[in-house]
């Protein structure tokens, strides 16, 4: 297990199929840290209520609120953790010792490469083009609507992917898995 000066936890956030989970796994492995995948937890909640993964609006608000409070508690009290979830970096605002990574999949002009994310979801989960397209668009839209209401007083301009919330933004469209990991390890001052 690697100890890092001034960094006790790392968050990895990103939009659906941006590569955040893959990067979080690689960071946790490289450092020998525990990995928490928020997507697995929220998928279980969706399953328990009989909703598909893209039916975010059916998930009770208290499930989101309790989950985000749990993440904050882990970040405050724990160490040697890589926490991957959409809002983990947002949750970490004001908590000392957390290095916040945001993963994007964007072209050189900063445009979200949604077709690439859809393709990744198709390959990762063996979904059809239509299923993957529907899931990415529905989950993106429903998550943002819910979280704007819960965490930003309904502000239509708020989003969790505002780069000011993060210490490092990694673009998985222009960097492969190994390059993305190296960017993070260099930023946190760890040399393998």
Q: Is residue 187 part of a domain?
A: no
Q: Is residue 188 part of a domain?
A: no
Q: Is residue 159 part of a domain?
A: yes
Q: Is residue 170 part of a domain?
A: yes
Give all strands of the β-sheet with 98-104 in edge-to-edge order. Answer: 34-37, 81-84, 9-14, 98-104, 168-171
Q: What is the CATH number for 84?
A: 3.40.50.300
Q: Is residue 192 part of a domain?
A: no
| Domain around 152 | 9-180
Q: Is residue 151 part of a domain?
A: yes
Could you give the number of structural domains in the chain? 1
Q: What's the pTM?
A: 0.91
Q: pLDDT tens digit string along 45-94?
A: 777 777 776 677 778 888 889 889 999 999 999 999 999 999 999 999 99
Q: Is residue 68 part of a domain?
A: yes
* Banded model confidence at residue 139, pLDDT cuts 50, 70, 90: confident
Distances (CA, A) of 75 to 27, 45, 49, 58, 78: 16, 21, 28, 27, 6
Contacts of 167-171 with CB under 8 Å at 24 or more apart are: 167/99, 167/100, 167/101, 168/99, 168/100, 168/101, 168/102, 169/101, 169/102, 169/103, 169/104, 170/23, 170/101, 170/102, 170/103, 170/104, 171/103, 171/104, 171/105, 171/106
Q: Is residue 176 part of a domain?
A: yes
């Amino acid at each position: 297990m690697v100890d890092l000066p001034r960094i006790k936890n790392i968050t990895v956030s990103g939009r659906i199929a941006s590569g955040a989970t893959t990067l979080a796994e690689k960071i946790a492995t490289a450092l020998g840290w525990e990995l928490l995948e928020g997507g697995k937890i929220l998928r279980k909640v969706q399953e328990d209520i009989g909703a598909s993964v893209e039916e975010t609006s059916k998930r009770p608000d208290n499930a989101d609120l309790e989950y985000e409070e749990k993440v904050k508690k882990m970040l405050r009290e724990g160490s040697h953790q890589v926490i991957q979830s959409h809002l983990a970096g947002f949750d970490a605002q004001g908590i000392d010792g957390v290095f916040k990574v945001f993963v994007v999949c964007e072209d050189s002009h900063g445009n979200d490469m949604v077709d690439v994310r859809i393709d990744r979801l198709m390959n990762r989960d063996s979904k059809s083009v239509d299923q993957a397209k529907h899931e990415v668009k529905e989950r993106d839209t429903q998550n943002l609507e819910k979280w704007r209401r819960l965490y930003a007083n309904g502000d239509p301009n708020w989003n969790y992917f505002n780069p000011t919330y993060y210490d490092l933004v990694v673009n998985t469209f222009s960097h492969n898995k190994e390059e993305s990991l190296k960017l993070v390890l260099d930023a946190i001052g760890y040399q393998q």
